[in-house]
Amino acid sequence: MSIAPDLPTVFLWVLAAVLFGVAVVKGEGRLGEAFKATSKLLGMVVFRLPLALMLAGFLSQVMPSDLVGSSIGAETGLSGVVIASVVGGLVPSGPFVSFPIALTLFKSGAGMPQLIAFISGWGIFALHRILIYEWPLMGLRFTALRFAASGLVPPLTGLLAMALMEVY
C-alpha cells in the first residue's frame, strides 16, 4: 500500500494552507471561527465516516456480483442507466454512504455510465430529502415541477457518459 498522496489530496492540502493564510492575514477572529466550524463538522463526520466505510465493506461482501452485472453492468445500456438512476434516488443517505456504495457497485460489475447515472440519481432525486424536506417545506407543486424539470437528468448523464466513452 502506497502512502503517497494523490492529486486531489494534495490539492485540498494546498487549498487549506492558502485559506489558512488568508484567515491569518484578515484577522478579526476569523481563524478561531474557522476552527470552531471545523471541529463542529469533524464531530459530525467522525462517527459517520467509519460506519459508512464499514457499510461499504460489508456490502461488498454480500452484494451479488451477478445481479449487479445483469442489472447495471456496462452491457445493460439504457435499461441499466434507468435502473441505476432510480436506485440512486432511493438510497437514503448522504455522500458518506452513497459514494462507498457506488464504489462497491463498481467493484461488483456496474458499468461506468450506470454509476454516473446512480450518483446523478442520488443527487437529484433523493427520495428521503423530497419526503422530509422538499415536499413539506416547498409544497407539492414545487416538488412536482422540480422533479418534472430534472427527472431526465440522471439518465441523460448516463447516456452522455456512454457516448463519451465511445469517443475516448
Q: Are residue 84 and residue 152 in the same domain, yes or no?
A: yes
Q: Are residue 15 and residue 70 in the same domain, yes or no?
A: no
Q: Are residue 35 and residue 103 in the same domain, yes or no?
A: no
What pLDDT score does 150 carry?
95
What pLDDT score does 2 carry?
62
Q: Are residue 95 and residue 160 in the same domain, yes or no?
A: yes
Q: Are residue 92 and residue 144 in the same domain, yes or no?
A: yes
Instruction: Please indicate, yes or no, if residue 109 is contained in any of the structural domains.
Output: yes
Element (H, E) at 87: helix 77-90
Q: Are residue 18 and residue 40 in the same domain, yes or no?
A: yes
pTM over 0.85: no
Q: Are residue 153 and residue 118 in the same domain, yes or no?
A: yes
Query: What nine digits make up the cell of 64?
Result: 451479488
Q: Are residue 93 and residue 158 in the same domain, yes or no?
A: yes
What pLDDT score does 95 carry?
84
Query: What is the total count of domains within the chain?
Result: 2
Element (H, E) at 162: helix 153-167
What pLDDT score does 144 carry?
95
- CA angle in degrees (0–180, nearest 5) for 63-65-68: 90
Per-residue pLDDT of the chain (168 residues; tens, 9 = 90+): 566 778 888 999 999 999 888 888 887 777 888 888 889 988 888 887 788 778 777 877 887 888 888 999 999 999 999 999 999 999 888 887 888 889 889 988 999 999 999 999 999 998 989 999 999 999 999 999 999 999 999 999 999 999 999 888
DSSP readout, 29-73? THHHHHHHHHHHHHHHHHHHHHHHHHHHHHHHHHS-HHHHHHHHB
Residue 25's domain comprises 7-59
What pLDDT score does 1 carry?
53
| Closest CA relative to residue 114, chosen from 49, 165, 44 | 165
Q: Are residue 83 and residue 162 in the same domain, yes or no?
A: yes
Query: What nine digits make up the cell of 142?
Result: 414545487
Cα(56)–Cα(142) distance, rounded to whole angstroms? 34
